[in-house]
Amino acid sequence: MNAVRRSGWSYHHPVGRALSGTVGVAALVAGARLGGVRSRVLWTTAVLPDVALLYGIAAAPDFERLPGYAVRPYNVLHSPAVPAALLTLAAVTGSRTAAVAGLGWLGHIGVDRAFGYGPRRPDGLRH
């Protein structure tokens, strides 16, 4: 973990935030070029990871803390493994839809990291 933080590829570090933001915006631009600016798939997957916030918002004790039952879904939906799986599926099958979905999802995660929103701790707070 410390090696990741020292390298700058962390949303805790200004260089990591800038890099994450660049990746996020580039993914959204690539998705818009591939699927079209008005692509429902692109924009749906660009907001879909925040479904976990809606899932936990009613029981959230405050703005900064998610309830315990929403932490795991939030962390899974905000994991780079999800867009990686979609982009791998797109590469294997040649599916444009899966590629656009993966780019939208990656865009969301990158922009979140640029603004300092990373995985949640078990107590629901941000790391």
- What percentage of the chain carries pLDDT values higher than 90? 71
pLDDT at 6 over 50: no
Kindly give the residue spans of alpha helices, DSSP state H, lying in the chain: 2-7, 14-35, 40-47, 51-57, 68-77, 81-93, 96-114
pLDDT at 23 over 90: yes
pLDDT digits (tens, 9 = 90+) for 75-108: 999 999 999 999 999 999 999 999 999 999 999 9
pTM: 0.88
Specify the pLDDT at position 9: 60
pLDDT at 33 over 50: yes
> What is the residue extent of each domain of the chain?
2-114
Regarding predicted confidence, which is higher, 2 or 102? 102
